Amino acid sequence: MRKIAILLMVIMVPLVMFGSQITGITVSPYSGGQTLVKLGSIGDVTFTDYSLSTPSRIVIDFVGVTNDISPEKLMINRGGINSIEISKPNDKVVRFTLYTDEEYAYNITRDKSVINLTINSGVSSFAEFSKQLISDASENVDEDEGLISLDLENADLVTVLRGLANYSGRNIIVSDNVKGAITVSLHDVPWEKALDVILRTAGYTYIIDGDIIRVGTGDEFKKELKTKEESNPLINKIFKLKFAHAEEIKAPLKKILSPRGAIEVDKRTNALIVTDIKEKLDDVGKMLYVLDSPNPQVEIVVKVVELDANFDKGLGINWDVEGLSSPTGDVKGSVQSGEEIAPHTTLNVGTVSSYVNINAKLQMLEKENKSKVIANPRITAVNNQKASILGGKKFTVVTLDQRGNPVTQMYTVGAKIEVTPQINSFNEVTMDIHAELSTVEGASTNHPIINTTEANTRQVVKDGETVVMGGFIKSTETNTSTGLPLLRGIPILGNIFGTQTKHNEKKEVLIFLTPHIIK
């Protein structure tokens, strides 16, 4: 282990590369039958990830990588990964395409200088694969090279900074406002971490600009940045968007502009006109590369069915099976058919893995006039965008205002459903559902009564699974009078000449929603 004493000013070879880089790739087994792909990085690396099918693959695009990575195809053949192809779609992007033997759910995180990609491959044991992607000047040096140890008491801060700069092979410029002494004891830490800790402890900051380290106060750098932004010339640049709406993407981009910058939207061409200094325009371009990407779509098949709840046999749903939602229970499970419909006092929500059997029974009951399809629409929604479906009728009511003038008001009753889908990396769909069912009494009068039942829920289902909502109960009471006219209306004796029949009818409305990810 190499150690450094600042007072002796021992100069070592520089070991730090410049800019944002991808240093290497490692594929190894991970806990729970997962495959862990590690991508080593240096600097501020920006990336975006997505999955594709036919063939199955996971794509990671890195923006602004400075090291020269040669396009190649790495044959992995382990951990569910067939190969990893490294390519350059353009001069700003380095793409890693992981070809897998089937579609796997995955998760990607960043941990300091490592991007970790975990794939649910189901493979628990295989030999590790490793590949270095940059030439390292310290390849033939001990793995502990670059770590330093400092043990100083009341050492001059400027002298300490010069020693660290010499060790790193960088030049250093220290502001006149930087002064004082420092007491520090660090063991086996990277030189840049030591520099950061020492300066933050002393109340200063630094900027690494190429091979130059600049040290000063935060106010100095803020003032310098402001002066630079005010003195640099403004440039106009047009960014034409392919997928995103210019108006929607304007707000997040406006936050990264300088005080002199401006952004305008051209709705006709769906373009952004940005005015700012060159550095800020580059930042806008990097952010747009991530934000202006294809947005997946979800087709949602909805079926609203009204059933006669008085039949002993019919479709039948057992809402008490394991995993079904209730006011105090879980929200996922399997809806089972074959039992009689039980009365519901609250709304119920569950999931159906196979909609085929349920749909077949619905069709059978419809033929027997025991059920009626109120609505069966299909709608395509963009990921994270609300879709609305309305099946019902509209009617008007004429009322009088305070001055006695007639006012016509429009009312809508029926089944109204609002769904916001969100696709995750496991090819599951999270649906925020708002369901509203309404009926009207006295539509032809000036004082109609609208009965409304509403429900809000969030469900996570796999592609093609069905969410079913039940508990929407409608009860109607019908009084029928039969017999001889006039005579049946005689008090007491009228029962001899006629009969009074009271009929109670209870119906339940079920709502089925099936999302399909459009690929």
pLDDT at 191 exceeding the cut of 50: yes
Q: Say whether 337 sits in a helix, a strand or coil.
A: coil
Maximum mean pLDDT: which of 8-12, 208-212, 216-220, 481-485 = 216-220
Which amino acid would we find at residue 417?
I
Distance, CA of 286 to CA of 212 (rounded, Å):
25
Q: What is the pLDDT of residue 139?
A: 36
Q: What is the pLDDT of residue 85?
A: 92
Residue 422 structure tokens: 């969100």
CB 313 within 8 A of CB 341: no
Q: CA angle at residue 229 from 281 to 173, to 5 degrees?
A: 110
Q: Which domains does the chain have, with CATH numbers?
A: 21-132 (2.60.40.3500), 147-226 (3.30.1370.120), 232-292 (3.30.1370.120), 296-314+367-518 (no CATH)
pLDDT tens digits along 68-80 = 788 888 999 999 9
Which tops the pLDDT comparison, 317 or 369? 369
Which tops the pLDDT comparison, 379 or 325? 379
pLDDT at 354 exceeding the cut of 70: no
- pLDDT band for position 478 (50/70/90)? low
Three-class DSSP labels, 435-477: EEEEEEECCCCCCCEEEEEEEEEEEEEECCCEEEEEEEEEEEE
Average pLDDT over residues 434-442: 80
343: preceding bond cis by omega (within 30 degrees) = no
Min mean pLDDT across 256-260, 396-400, 499-503 is at 499-503
Distance, CA of 274 to CA of 348 (rounded, Å):
51
Q: What is the pLDDT of residue 483?
A: 64
- pLDDT band for position 134 (50/70/90)? low
Percent share of the chain, pLDDT over 90? 14
Q: CA angle at residue 161 from 159 to 165, to 5 degrees?
A: 115
Average pLDDT over residues 407-421: 84
pLDDT at 37 exceeding the cut of 90: yes
Q: What is the pLDDT of residue 306?
A: 80
Q: What is the pLDDT of residue 351?
A: 59
Which tops the pLDDT comparison, 19 or 226? 226
Distance, CA of 377 to CA of 304 (rounded, Å):
9
pLDDT at 277 exceeding the cut of 50: yes
pLDDT at 274 exceeding the cut of 90: yes
CB 415 within 8 A of CB 392: yes
Mean pLDDT of the chain: 77
Q: Which helix (H) or strand (E) holds 115?
A: strand 114-119
Q: What is the pLDDT of residue 239?
A: 93
Strand partners, 374: none
The pTM for the full model equals 0.46
Average pLDDT over residues 336-358: 47
pLDDT at 141 exceeding the cut of 70: no
Q: If we measure between CA atoms, which residue out of 159, 143, 56, 150 comes closest to residue 103?
A: 56
One-character DSSP codes across 259-295: TT-EEEEETTTTEEEEEE-HHHHHHHHHHHHHHSSPP
Q: What is the pLDDT of residue 492?
A: 64
pLDDT at 136 exceeding the cut of 50: no
Which tops the pLDDT comparison, 163 or 312? 163
Q: What is the pLDDT of residue 490?
A: 66
Min mean pLDDT across 88-102, 248-262, 446-460 is at 446-460
pLDDT at 335 exceeding the cut of 60: no
- pLDDT band for position 358 (50/70/90)? low
Q: What is the pLDDT of residue 297?
A: 87
pLDDT at 210 exceeding the cut of 60: yes
pLDDT at 138 exceeding the cut of 60: no
